[in-house]
Structure 1
Amino acid sequence: MQLGQRPERGQRKRGARHGENVGLLGRGAECALLDQLIAAVRMGESRVLVVHGAPGVGKSALLEYAENSATGMRVLRAVGVESEMELAFAALHQLCAPLLDRLESLPTPQRDALETVFGMREGMPPERFLVGLAVLSLLSDASEGGPLLCVVDDAQWMDRSSAQVLGFVARRLLAESVALVFGSRRRAQDLLGLPELEVTGLKAADAHALLSSVTHVRIDQDIRDRFVAETRGNPLALLELPRELAVTQVAGGFGLLDADTLPGRIEQSFLTRIEGLPKQTRLLLLIAAAEPVGDPSLVWRAAERLGVTPATVLASGTDGLLEFDVRVIFRHPLVRSAVYGSAKEGDRRAVHLALAEVTDAQADPDRRAWHLATATAAPDETVAAELERSAGRAQARGGLAAAAAFLQRSVALTIDTSRRAERALTAADISLRAGDIEAARRFVDIADRDAQSEFQRVRAHLARGHITFAAGFNNEAPLMLLTAAQRLEPFDMDLARETYFIAWGSASFGAANRDSLMAISRAMRELPSPEGRPRALDLVLEGYALLITDGRSAALPTLQRAKTALADHPVQDLLKWGWAACGVSALLWEDRIMPDMPARALEEVRTAGALSELPIYLHALGIPILLSGEFAAAAALVAESEAVADATGVPMTQHTQLLLTAMQGKEAEAAALIAATIEEAGASGQLNGVASAHWAAAVLYNGLARYGLALPAARATQSANPIVSQWALPELVEAAARVGDDTAARGALEGLADAAEPCDTDWAQGILARCRALLSDAAAADDLYREAIERLGRTILRPELARAHLLYGEWLRRDRQRAEARAHLRTAYEMFVSTGMEAFAERARRELLATGETVRKRKHGASTSDELTAQEKQIALLVRDGLSNPEIGARLFLSPRTVEWHLRKIFTKLRISSRRQLGDALSRGEHP
């Protein structure tokens, strides 16, 4: 329903005076639901509702009922318009325009995001999730002054960017005194899963009453029943269809309809009325249908260009199909679609050309470009260039779907084949980034077909490799990217190197087999040395290639240089390929610096609002945090990752959660998660995910002293990427030694020595000494265990140190040195309990019992904070560490008011009354 449109005639209960809101004919249940919604929002809660149903069924009337019920509340409205579906954030701007004076109250990244997408400033295109968070904060801030009702009608015609953002906001509303109500003909993709109200036809009695209000002849009851049945009680059909039928047709039951064609018949009824209007009036209706803004001045200026004069049209009238007020208003959206759909192609082009000519090229260049494109039948470089510029503006605002649409139309209108290939390449890239893989493939095919140079053909091949990789992990993508990188070398060596790196990462961390990884690494080794000082990327590239082709000893010097270069490298560049470079410090066994790069990248991602990148770096930080024994911190990262996945729809990696539950020794939970990950990751070709699950299983079963299960799990990791296989080697040595498989144990120790010996760090040498002790004679084992404890004691890796004490204590007990065994076993037990490693703690306790010591079984950190949900605990930890409500909201995709709502619940559960008391209320050692 357009702004200002009245509800369908005849639906309001008879006896209602103008301005009263006494309900709609036959809609008692629907009105009651809307009344409850409004009442809840008045009480400080948030509500969301998607009202959907067939055209003409009365959705817009219900939305107007909600608005009339919201007395004393602020009401914001937006309307989806079919011809504006390609204009990024058009519907969102309609909704938020009255609130733009509040932008200063938002955190800077959120304010900048909204100003950018609304064209108020220039800047980097923000991610839609940051835009969504900004809109959530804006609505929350506006609701501080009183309850807020947001109504979006014809949501099926919202532009995709607006639909994605409002769908995001709808899922995050909780305690903001905001209602968000959509009216839509169908369940829109971006609104699926939200509370909904399906509006169907009126019940028989109400339908008969409505039919009687518009028929003034006697109609047999059977005919009346049939008319009601075949319209399915659709109010608009009951109001409009009798108008197109002669009195004798209605009374005799002729001209009735097939219910399956009801929308078409309603449109046809409007067309019948339209065809009876004068030619100039019909042309005015077409201009209004093609002009989405509803600006009377714009419509009349375009009309004058086509020879339509106001005096002539207004004298004959429009039969109630179109009204001119503050805005141009159609009787119903079906009138607009009927007018536009039935028009001749030549007439439509003429109307769009007139509208383009009267649209301000400075104030509204994108809508002008779209009118020109629609008016153009043959290829036209001028129009194609206009569309290309519009795509650039849409992309700068973060409207990737709109940018893709502009570029796709630009390609169709481009004459020159070389230029068409360039535009098709850009269209493929933007379409891929917008999530439309099929469109990306189509435009890569066009680019490949029209390419006029080898460089264009190579870039088309590169784009095809990116599309294949994005479509799912498979063995094909790494080799496609390898070929693209090789073909790029003569044209753009920097781009070639970045492509090699992506190919290596996709092979190592994704799906390719060892032969593919070796082929990519060998090709990387053949690259010429970079001119001047090598970049961090160049050093990482060379180090990774050497790692595969020549082994760790050969790669070590280059990886050391890469580590130094990465420490000083601009973090913004790391976001392009840092997900793969995070492994450098792990390969070097650098425990203290391993969290540094992902922590830097994570902070940059949060600041920039690149929220879809968050899961990558949350995982990259989560593993080193876990290895250091900070389980609460790791759990907070997992919770944040889950919040990201829930808010963005971007799947979260399970690796941190897998290892956390395994190290905690939660057998049932860990085993289920491991099995599910192996199945899901294996089905999608994510071999690194499968290997990570096996690594977690090896840790779990070694902790439970079920070495027969730990051994095959650890073995299954050795075909994975170098980092996972390296970390799993100590598990393989321990499990094999415990089951007496000397060959497997010594083979694993040899592999561990190859990985650790070249690295003179306490982590590397401590783990190596601990594993060597498992396979050494008595004299050597004692010295090796002591060396392991000394070296690991200088690291931040508390779990590894505790395991060294445990293994040494077990060895001492078997060697009948019970007194010294008790000391190490007691140390291990206390460390395991304090860390939360329950299975390993139980293993240490059983060993202590075997020495004759009585040990009371204890669990980790029971406290009043255990009453909190995972999200409440995360909020409490962040508050304790000094973050404000807006900062917490930005991190967890919540509004500040929702954070405050959670905080009140936290205070109640912890029996405290202020933020200052959280430190004492929470368990010691928990960190976000």
Structure 2
Amino acid sequence: MLRGRDKELGEAARLLERARAGQSGVLVLRGEAGIGKSALLEELVRRARGVRVLRATAVEAETSLPFAGLQMVLRPVLDRLDTLPGVQAAALRGALGLADAAGTSRFLVGLAVLSLLSELAAQRPVLCLIDDAHWLDAASADALLFAARRLAADGVAMVFAARDAFDAPGLPELRLGGLDEAAAAEVLAQRFSTMASSVRDRVVREAGGNPLALIELPAGLSPEQRAGREAMPGALPATDRVVAGFGAQIDELPARARLAVLVAAAEGSGDLGTVLRAARALGGGVADLEAAEKAGLLRITGASIAFRHPLVRSAAYQRAPLGLRVAAHEALAAVVDAERRVWHLAAAATGPQEGIAALLEETAVAARGRGAMATAASILEQAALLSPDRAERARRTTLAARAAVAGGRTEQAAALAERAAELGGHSAGLALVRASVAFERGTPRGAAQVLADGAQTILRDDPGLALTMLTMAASNAWPAGEIDAVRRVARLAGSFAGPTARAIEALAGLADDDHANALPALTALVAQARTNPLDDALARIFVVGVALFLGDDEAVAELAAADVIRCRNEGLAGALPVTLHALAHAQLMAGRHRDAAATVAEAVDLARDTGQSHRIGQLTAITARIAAIEGGPEHGSDPVHRGLFHLTFGRYEQAFREIEGVSAVSAAPDLVEAAVRVEAADRAAGAHARFAAWAEAGRQPWAQAVALRCRALLGPAGEAGEHYAQAVRLHRRGGRPFERARTELLYGEWLRRARRRAEARSPLRSALEIFDRLGAAPWAGRARAELRATGESAPDGPPADALAALTPQELQVVRLAAAGVSNRDIAAQLFLSHRTVEYHLYKAYPKLGVASRQELARLV
């Protein structure tokens, strides 16, 4: 019976009830060793009638075995892998070592785990329990956490029990504190009914409410001490006292039994056959393990050994002399499989050994192939430490850093890169790591120079990698405004042929305002990529960035949408945030605000789940611009969006102050309008000249129209009408409806002030219709007031939009369903379970007033 845990047990048990009702829930139970986490999990199992239970207890000895924890969780249901979509089943089989695993994506493995749990829950609710989750190997932790964050309407309850070392950001947590004095006294009274009250009070005080300490501290006392007739030992922290008590019990065993217990502790996984084979090699056997079992230190069940508590294992291993630990690992290395053998050899090593380091590197390569990048990083780090040669140590440390970056372990990568540099590493790979770390930390300034340094060292030996690094450098330097870095990268790119190199050189030309020569080269690169899709992911990202700069929204939409499809089909969740960001930008510029917000919401979730938190600020800039247009609450720190927000509400002084110092060419139109309103037109002339040159060279109709609008605002009043009229004609060729409506509003205002009220009505009607469609209420209010001032009545508001009632994820699901995509394919594309997709459609249909996919397709 659990004492003093009614509140905690109630909260955990509610997960079971939600699972029975078809909903999912996740909980991380946190607490120190012995606080009662495992006992709480056992109570949940007892209550799980009619529920499928999947459980695993992670062990320290397997933290470097890729997907060892996931194997334990899924072992009872591996026969159900055929129910998964083919690509997911293949990824999961590869991760678990059941099939070839070349190039497995770690996120695809997580999606496969999610799909499998959902499939199982379709039969009956699932309770998934992972005890000692802080010992999970990194690959298993990544996969299980990825699935946990996407459980919704699946009927799955997932609980992780862990100490503080387990990192699970974004998941609900329940911290187990110590039992209160009343509950602690009950525990003691049940186990030690004759204990003196003074001793009981001291045990309660020293145990700090830790249930294990409440049981083990008195057990380590003599009968005389428990009765209060002899003094108790000096005070120690509860856990240290418990470990010391376990150690004292181990010390009482015969020498061969102590050695057998050490072998079991060093083996770690609890395989009885392996422990016995190794123990026999050291002169031990079954009788020695039986002695430890009789002492209550471990239990033998069937073919398994389990320590009474993980702290018993810790005490057995930590208190053994080094020589015995080495002997235990050497004996184990001789009887285990190849994957575990290398770890026992490494644990037995008392100094650098190249043979073992090479074996570890081979193991890391295999782990990397299975998608276990973070695990590979740890293995390579160990290999580096065992490398006698300094150059090899630097090389392996650099490889570890690269694997850590790929595995989303930014801080580990940074520390490894620093260590590699101290060892004399100066490779291009190290430069890639340092630049990636800077970017992942959201501090990319200077990363371009690091990349250029690395590329310069390999221009002749590895030109392909050099150009890749220069492309990365240009992609970092240009948006950061590092003009000197752009020029240097362009000089290095001059030794290469092809449109990518010419585009990099063109960026340097733009830095000198040479739009006429630079933009055609960038345009050619985008056009070629649209005709001949690129295979290299980095090159595709670079081209999309170029299209964004050109203002070629159609190209951005086409290229980004194609890359999103590629990433979804291949399960590349880590690559999606940057591509979805570009797609959301294209949707925003096309006036599809709700779609853009839904795309951003997905990208933010993926960025958070894949360790790319620095991208969240870039992504939320899209929603900040939507809010600025629609007159929603002001948010974000970008001065361009804050300036537009003030423009929306006619606060021209504030808008001008925000935008005046911004150098980005895209800010020029807002600056011009604000400057004219505050009678400071001369202070916007330079920005307008740069924008006009960019628009003329780029040949985008919407940009040329906006340049004419700015010219109308800044130029003589007598010439404004022709500029506005020409701008409106260009806008009709398509692109950026919000900018078109702004031009038409200004033109209508100008015509009305010129007493040409009848002519003013047409552009004002068009502006009003667009502003209403975009949900830009403040702008629509201005257009409506202007239209009424011409003598024409205007409707009070836009017609209701049925899709407005949907959540961002419902909108994404509805769009795909209306396009004829099956629920399972929608689930795979959005990294959800198919039952969650069904749930979203179930919620969306009544909101939209439809009852079938056919009706949905007609509506959407």
Tell me, yes or no, whether TM beats 0.5.
yes
Kindly report which structure 2 residues correspond to 1:357-396, keeping only aligned pairs within 5 A, or say none.
357-361=334-338, 365=339, 367-396=340-369
Distance 1:765 1:521, change over 3 A: same
Alignment correspondent of 2:486: 520
Kindly report which structure 2 residues correspond to 1:92-171, keeping only aligned pairs within 5 A, or say none.
92-171=70-149
Unaligned segments of structure 2, at least 5 residues: none
2:275 aligned to which of 299, 318, 321:
299
Kindly report which structure 2 residues correspond to 1:451-850, keeping only aligned pairs within 5 A, or say none.
451=424, 456=426, 459-461=429-431, 463-473=433-443, 475-510=445-480, 514=481, 516-525=482-491, 527-530=493-496, 534-549=497-512, 551-573=514-536, 575-645=537-607, 647-648=609-610, 650-651=612-613, 652-654=615-617, 658=621, 662=625, 669-671=632-634, 673=635, 677-678=636-637, 693-718=638-663, 725-777=664-716, 780-850=719-789
Q: Determine the C-alpha separation between the residues in 2 that align with 1:384 and 1:773.
A: 71
**In the alignment, is the contact (CA less than 8 A) between 1:595 and 1:624 conserved in 2?**
yes
Distance 1:789 1:415, change over 3 A: same
Distance 1:665 1:850, change over 3 A: farther
1:61 aligned to which of 27, 33, 39:
39
What is the Cα deviation at residue 127 of structure 1? 4.4
**In the alignment, is the contact (CA less than 8 A) between 2:373 and 2:406 conserved in 1?**
yes
Q: Determine the C-alpha separation between the residues in 2 that align with 1:224 and 1:733.
A: 80
AA paired with 1:601?
Answer: D
AA paired with 2:70?
Answer: L
AA paired with 1:541?
Answer: I
Distance 1:567 1:144, change over 3 A: same
Q: Determine the C-alpha separation between the residues in 2 that align with 1:902 and 1:256.
A: 63
What is the Cα deviation at residue 28 of structure 1? 5.1
- 1:629-658 deviation digits (Å, cap 9, x = unpaired): 222322222232233245445334455654
What is the Cα deviation at residue 403 of structure 1? 0.9
2:248 aligned to which of 272, 297, 306:
272
Q: Determine the C-alpha separation between the residues in 1 that align with 2:686 and 2:97.
A: 63
Q: Equivalent residue of 1:888, what SS? A: helix
Q: Equivalent residue of 1:669, what SS? A: coil
* Greater mean alpha carbon deviation, residues 771-780 or residues 559-568: 771-780
Q: Equivalent residue of 2:800, what SS? A: coil
Q: Equivalent residue of 1:593, what SS? A: helix
Q: Equivalent residue of 1:592, what SS? A: helix
Q: Determine the C-alpha separation between the residues in 2 that align with 1:51 and 1:742.
A: 62
Distance 1:753 1:182, change over 3 A: closer
**In the alignment, is the contact (CA less than 8 A) between 1:710 and 1:735 conserved in 2?**
yes
**In the alignment, is the contact (CA less than 8 A) between 1:202 and 1:235 conserved in 2?**
no
Distance 1:899 1:445, change over 3 A: closer
Alignment correspondent of 1:855: 794
Q: Determine the C-alpha separation between the residues in 2 that align with 1:656 and 1:224.
A: 58
AA paired with 1:884?
Answer: S
Alignment correspondent of 2:325: 348
- 1:99-126 deviation digits (Å, cap 9, x = unpaired): 2222222233432332232123334544
- 1:349-376 deviation digits (Å, cap 9, x = unpaired): 1111111111122xxx2x2211110011
* Greater mean alpha carbon deviation, residues 276-285 or residues 778-787: 778-787
**In the alignment, is the contact (CA less than 8 A) between 2:499 and 2:525 conserved in 1?**
yes
What is the Cα deviation at residue 745 of structure 1? 4.0
Q: Determine the C-alpha separation between the residues in 1 that align with 2:265 and 2:668.
A: 69
Q: Equivalent residue of 2:306, what SS? A: strand
Q: Determine the C-alpha separation between the residues in 2 that align with 1:47 and 1:887.
A: 24
- 1:471-490 deviation digits (Å, cap 9, x = unpaired): 44254333333333333334
Distance 1:560 1:917, change over 3 A: closer
RMSD: 3.0
What is the Cα deviation at residue 627 of structure 1? 1.8
**In the alignment, is the contact (CA less than 8 A) between 2:260 and 2:288 conserved in 1?**
no
Alignment correspondent of 2:843: 905
What is the Cα deviation at residue 301 of structure 1? 1.1
Q: Determine the C-alpha separation between the residues in 2 that align with 1:892 and 1:247.
A: 64
What is the Cα deviation at residue 815 of structure 1? 1.6
- 1:236 aligns to 2:212 (yes or no): yes
Q: Equivalent residue of 2:39, what SS? A: helix
AA paired with 1:590?
Answer: D
What is the Cα deviation at residue 704 of structure 1? 3.6
- 1:559-615 deviation digits (Å, cap 9, x = unpaired): 233123322454441x22433332333444534323222222222222222223322
Distance 1:871 1:590, change over 3 A: closer
What is the Cα deviation at residue 190 of structure 1? 1.7
AA paired with 2:232?
Answer: L
AA paired with 1:517?
Answer: I
Distance 1:770 1:197, change over 3 A: closer
- 1:247 aligns to 2:223 (yes or no): yes
Q: Determine the C-alpha separation between the residues in 1 that align with 2:291 and 2:797.
A: 91
Kindly tell me the number of residue pairs found equivalent between the two proteins. Answer: 858
- 1:320 aligns to 2:320 (yes or no): no
Kindly report which structure 2 residues correspond to 1:84-95, keeping only aligned pairs within 5 A, or say none.
84-95=62-73
- 1:5-27 deviation digits (Å, cap 9, x = unpaired): xxxxxxxxxxxxxxxxxx44565
Distance 1:142 1:257, change over 3 A: farther
- 1:318-371 deviation digits (Å, cap 9, x = unpaired): 41222322311212212111101111111111111111111122xxx2x22111
Q: Equivalent residue of 1:87, what SS? A: coil
AA paired with 2:845?
Answer: F
Distance 1:466 1:446, change over 3 A: same
What is the Cα deviation at residue 211 of structure 1? 4.4
- 1:828-872 deviation digits (Å, cap 9, x = unpaired): 21222223332322221222222232323213x424544443433
AA paired with 1:913?
Answer: A
What is the Cα deviation at residue 31 of structure 1? 4.9
2:198 aligned to which of 196, 218, 222:
222
Kindly report which structure 2 residues correspond to 1:870-889, keeping only aligned pairs within 5 A, or say none.
870-889=808-827
**In the alignment, is the contact (CA less than 8 A) between 1:126 and 1:609 conserved in 2?**
no
Q: Determine the C-alpha separation between the residues in 2 that align with 1:294 and 1:732.
A: 70
What is the Cα deviation at residue 226 of structure 1? 3.0
Distance 1:591 1:430, change over 3 A: closer
Q: Equivalent residue of 2:697, what SS? A: coil
Alignment correspondent of 1:16: none
What is the Cα deviation at residue 548 of structure 1? 2.1
AA paired with 2:833?
Answer: S
Q: Determine the C-alpha separation between the residues in 2 that align with 1:312 and 1:696.
A: 73
* Greater mean alpha carbon deviation, residues 136-145 or residues 204-213: 204-213
**In the alignment, is the contact (CA less than 8 A) between 2:66 and 2:139 conserved in 1?**
yes
Alignment correspondent of 1:685: none
Distance 1:654 1:332, change over 3 A: closer
**In the alignment, is the contact (CA less than 8 A) between 2:177 and 2:209 conserved in 1?**
no
After TM superposition, the score normalised by the length of structure 2 is 0.92
**In the alignment, is the contact (CA less than 8 A) between 1:504 and 1:521 conserved in 2?**
no
Unaligned segments of structure 1, at least 5 residues: 1-22, 679-692, 719-724
Q: Equivalent residue of 1:48, what SS? A: strand
* Greater mean alpha carbon deviation, residues 772-781 or residues 69-78: 772-781
Q: Determine the C-alpha separation between the residues in 1 that align with 2:526 and 2:848.
A: 44
